Structure 1
Amino acid sequence: MTSARENSHGNGAGLPRVPSIPLSDDASTPGDQSIGGLVRDATTHLSTLIRGELELAKSEVTGEIKKGLTGSVSLIIALVVLLLSIPFLFVAFSLGINDLLDWEDHPWAGFLITFVIFIVVVALLVFVGIRKFKRIRAPQRTIDSAKDTIATLRGRGDDEHYELEPRRP
């Protein structure tokens, strides 16, 4: 057996050992083996090759999954930081309204206007969401197909009325 490090010309840091197929068999020469022995050897070599390929694929996929997880964690942390910084944007927006309208004596007014704007945006999003939910329909073609399949399996494919549950006595 050789290792994955040896198979990859020294660039296999951390990879597990992967079985390899021997290029020569010292036990006998090709002319001395029977057909059964050749088939057995071919089966053994094929099995070793497939196991080696699966081990190589497993080690490569494992490495890529680790990279993907690291990238995902970085993106999740960035999203959390972004979400935590949003209130500062809203405070700046409210204070900007106060400065724009020259209401330094009443800072609550800018925050109230910002709150009303958010309530209007939330109401619009709720309205759109409810309309989308009301448009959801049952998968009628799938239901009909399932009923047809059940009726066919029961041997009653010519009936027009199908039941999903078996009849009880």
Structure 2
Amino acid sequence: MSHPAAPGPQGDGEPTIGRLVSDISRDLSTLVRGEIALAKSELRVSVKSGAVGSGLLVAVAVLLLFVVTMLSMAGGFFFAWLFNRDVPLAFTWGFLAMTGVWILIIVVFALVGIRFLKKVKAPEKTIATVQEIPNALKGKTDPRTTIDLPEAAVSPATADTDGKRLTS
């Protein structure tokens, strides 16, 4: 009675299809995790700058409402003084001076907000590495091309008891 060959490594040293599929799956998983880590590290700085810049520009919009209110009141006092002369002109000048103060604050907030928004950039390294993935899968990458990637965090699945990465 003959028995079928047991699955496992073949005698000539070539890996089995199951082993190749397992290696491909592991490598793709590692590649995706690396790309995600790279994108997170690149976007972290841009997101912070974008949030601060956006917050300052929202403050500018709110303060512009104050300016409109102050100018409206100054205009109202001016017309009251113009038509009736009972309202002192000092109120008009006071509101106009306060409007100038608000405008200075708005200009400072706007300039700082725009400066922060200019720091927002696309994740260039991530884009470059993602564009290389199809060529890498086809085996057409240039071995001289290297891209500096950030050190990935140690996964609990691949860590030893001291938290160091296991080598395979």
Same fold by TM (over 0.5)?
no
Q: Larger relative contact order (C-alpha < 8 A, sep ≥ 6)? A: 2
TM-score (norm 1): 0.37
Specify the structure having the higher radius of gyration (Cα).
1
TM-score (norm 2): 0.37
